[in-house]
Amino acid sequence: MSLANKTAVVTGSTSGIGLAIARTFARDGANVVINGFGDAAAIEAERAGIEAEFGVKAAYSAADMTKPDEIAVMIAEAEARFGSVDVLVNNAGIQFVAPIEEFPVDKWNAILAINLSAAFHAIRAAVPGMKARKWGRIINTASAHSLVASPYKAAYVTAKHGLAGLTKTVALELATFGVTANCISPGYVWTPLVEKQIPETMQARGLTREQVIHDVLLQAQPTKQFVTVEQVAALALFLCGDAAAQITGANLSVDGGWTAE
């Protein structure tokens, strides 16, 4: 168990990709801090479930990823409670779609804050401890949109391209300290958020469920299959292991061939 006696902070982890990563790390022996918004009872059920199922400690931070002070407190509290933050996964993200000339300024600011600046603030807070211990893993959940663009997603594409650049810079700065920094760039991942979009798209476009999945959602993915949260989580876990010690500054695509075209 490569993560036994280590602690991982995973932002945006009350559902979807982030929760799958937190659970995978806990299965491998890590104490975890989950973070995000949602129903308090549901979040507590996930937190308690992780402890019960995997025999590790799990904490919840309600830190708002738009607020640098709260991000710093989240890292400090994790270090105080568990003794270290060994793995940091910057996964929190939001999306908004609109033509550039109609793109709301507040949505631009929020997407840049949560998808990009939050990672900077969390890394900034976690790095001193990692450097002191000569070991750490920083994993940023980017997107196929860190490599290619799509129309009407100005803020998201900008943030994810920026996250890839931040990852490279951090990797270079920490290369001699036993700390790696990488980003994982998924394509369309099957999550509850994606599933909820299907009926709306069926109605709006007059398509069947199968047509929405294959002709709309998976149009960009040559495999015509969704990435699963478990596949993303497995790659994140691999990046924490000794076999990945020389992988740093990389942008690893998990996108069914999307960015190969």
Q: What is the tens place of the pLDDT at every residue in 162-217?
A: 999 999 999 999 999 999 999 999 999 998 778 888 888 888 889 999 999 998 88
Distance CA 212, CA 199 (A): 9
Would you give the DSSP letter of residue 256?
Answer: T
User: Quick one: what percent of the chain has pLDDT higher than 90?
Assistant: 89
Give per-residue pLDDT as tens, 125-175.
999 999 999 999 999 999 999 999 999 999 999 999 999 999 999 999 999
Q: What is the 3-state secondary structure (H, E, C) of 107-133?
A: HHHHHHHHHHHHHHHHHHHHHHHHHHH
Q: Which amino acid is at 123?
A: I
Residues 82-111 as b or e (16 or more Cβ within 10 Å = b) = bebbbbbbbbbbbebeeeeeebeeebbebb
Q: DSSP letters of 189-250?
A: B--HHHHHHHHHHHHHHT--HHHIIIIIITTT-TT-SPBPHHHHHHHHHHHHSGGGTT--S-
Give per-residue pLDDT as tens, 61-105.
999 999 999 999 999 999 999 999 999 999 999 998 899 999 999
* Domains in the chain: boundaries: 7-189+228-260, 190-226
Give per-residue pLDDT as tens, 106-117.
999 999 999 999
Average pLDDT over residues 234-247: 98
**Per-residue confidence at 1, pLDDT binned at 50, 70, 90?**
low
Residue 156 annotated as catalytic:
yes
The 8 Å CB, 24+ separation contacts for 239-243 are 239/137, 239/139, 239/180, 239/182, 239/184, 240/2, 240/3, 240/25, 240/28, 240/87, 240/137, 240/139, 241/2, 242/2
pLDDT score of 130 = 98
60, 152, 156, 188: the catalytic one is 156
CATH class of 7-189+228-260: alpha beta
